[in-house]
Amino acid sequence: MSTAREKLAGVGAAVPRLLFPPKGVDLQKFAVIACDQYSAQPEYWEAVQNFTDGAPSALQMIMPEAWLGKNLGHENAVPARMRRYLEDGTLSDIGEGMMFLHRATTTGIRRGLMLALDLEQYDFTPGSSSLIRATEKTVLERLPARVAIRSKAPLEMPHIMVLLDDRQNRLMGALDQMTAEKDPLYDFSLMMDSGRLKGWFLQEESVYDTVADVLTRLKEEALDGMLYAVGDGNHSFAAAKSHWDTLKAGLNAAERESHPARFGLVELVNLYDSALAFEPIHRLLMGVDPKQVQRELEFDAKNPPPLQQLQPRLDEWLDRHPEAELEYIHGAGDCRRLGRAPNRLAIVWEQFDKETLFSDVASRGVLCRKSFSMGSAPDKRFYLECRKI
């Protein structure tokens, strides 16, 4: 192991071996937004299906949450499609390296770095003191379906975005300088008016060394020993951890050290990136009498209490009312529009203070599930790079 890789291991990171569509594949049709977006808007996913229509696409390798419960056979179909793409050359091995990203969003150019994180350094249990921590409560009931797919899948294709508390922008600033004169591997417009994505594939030891040095300094400064906070994809990363914990029981010591499933491919993002806009995730109650809900829970949906106070009460109320459904909506306008339908109640918050995120998680543990969104729905991470597991 090189010195840079040793230093990376010391901060729970590794250089991944990436798979990527070869020339000739239409990247605009291949790249697809995170599966947990537009969960209450199946028409979005129908439009994606029509747009890709037979072309190689990440849509064939994911299970949109809008389709959950429809018994579409994704547990077996998704791994089979992954194997097919590996066999027919839709995905090719481009070697070890990190991908530095510029994502044009509605709020500016967001920087990101794709690398692998060690699942042995991650614990999603509330109150954890691990190097990598969840930011939101993990709903254990949502893990089995994801674990079932991952246990059969030959590769991973993440929408996981992990936050760094890097107020001085040391990591992304250094990478901007190192790529200033380099040509990107790709540069294309994303589907459905979702901005543009540019990526530089970095394979130099000098890059790895710089990344390791910056992460080491950030670890030394980390609040309560928390270097990484999982911002988007909490349940996907938790599923990867759960799968690894099961798998490693049947491995010997040497296999546990190097098995690819021990690591998870993620995109690192600086919490203080000026283009990383945090927004609250809103709630949409369906199959309810809006006035009755507000009366029983003693709140006003037009001026709701803080989410961390309201959500536990909502959960208890939903347990008593199985006829009601709760959806998590990205975008205040969308939530209000959906809430105009009969027997629905939209609950909308105005803002989320991202600068307190690390201190809140360190002091109180995880926030309730779906507390915040890193950017509006069109700005979310798109699936593109893959890795064998």
Residue 129 lies in domain: 3-277+376-388
pLDDT value of residue 60? 94
Same domain (yes/no): 40, 85: yes
Same domain (yes/no): 305, 380: no
Q: Can you give the chain as a three-state secondary structure string? A: CCHHHHHHHHCCEECCEEEECCCCCCHHHHCEECCCCCCCCHHHHHHHHHHHCCCCCHHHHCCCHHHCCCCCCHHHHHHHHHHHHHHHCCCEEEEECEEEEEEEECCEEEEEEEEEEEHHHEECCCCCCCCEEECECCCHHHHHHHHHHHHHCCEECCCCEEEECCCCCHHHHHHHHHHCCCCCCEEEECCCCCCEEEEEEECCHHHHHHHHHHHHHHHHHCHHHCCEEEEECHHHHHHHHHHHHHHHHHCCHHHHHHCHHHEEEEEEEECCCCCCCEEECEEEEECCCHHHHHHHHCCCCCCCCCHHHHHHHHHHHHHHCCCCEEEEECCHHHHHHHCCCCCEEEECCCCCCHHHHHHHHHHHCCECCCCEEECCHHHCCEECCEEEC
Same domain (yes/no): 17, 147: yes
Same domain (yes/no): 272, 285: no
Neighbours of 102 (CB within 10 A): 20
Same domain (yes/no): 180, 101: yes
The pLDDT tens digits for 324-372 are 999 988 789 989 999 999 999 999 999 998 999 999 999 888 998 889 9
Same domain (yes/no): 268, 152: yes
pLDDT value of residue 73? 60
**φ, ψ of residue 336 in degrees (nearest 5):** -65, -40
- What is the token pair recorded at 282? 């809103």
pLDDT value of residue 6? 96
What's the whole-model pTM score? 0.89
Same domain (yes/no): 252, 143: yes
Q: At what angle do helices 205-221 and 3-10 cross, to 10 degrees?
A: 30
Same domain (yes/no): 202, 321: no
Q: How many domains does the chain have?
A: 2
Could you tell me the mean pLDDT of each successive run of 10 residues in the chain, 389 residues long? 90 98 97 90 94 96 82 74 96 98 97 98 92 92 88 94 98 98 98 97 97 98 96 93 97 96 98 94 96 96 94 96 92 93 96 92 88 88 97
Same domain (yes/no): 154, 205: yes
Length of the chain: 389
Same domain (yes/no): 223, 363: no
Q: Which residues pair with 282 in a beta bridge?
A: 329
Whole-angstrom distance, CA of residue 111 vs CA of residue 92: 25
Do residues 106 and 376 lie in contact, with contact meaning Cβ atoms separated by under 8 Å? yes
Same domain (yes/no): 351, 239: no
pLDDT value of residue 70? 66
C-alpha R_g of the chain: 21
pLDDT value of residue 69? 67
pLDDT value of residue 71? 55
Q: Which amino acid is at 148?
A: A
- What is the token pair recorded at 68? 């959950």
Share of residues in the chain with pLDDT > 90 (%): 82
Same domain (yes/no): 355, 380: no
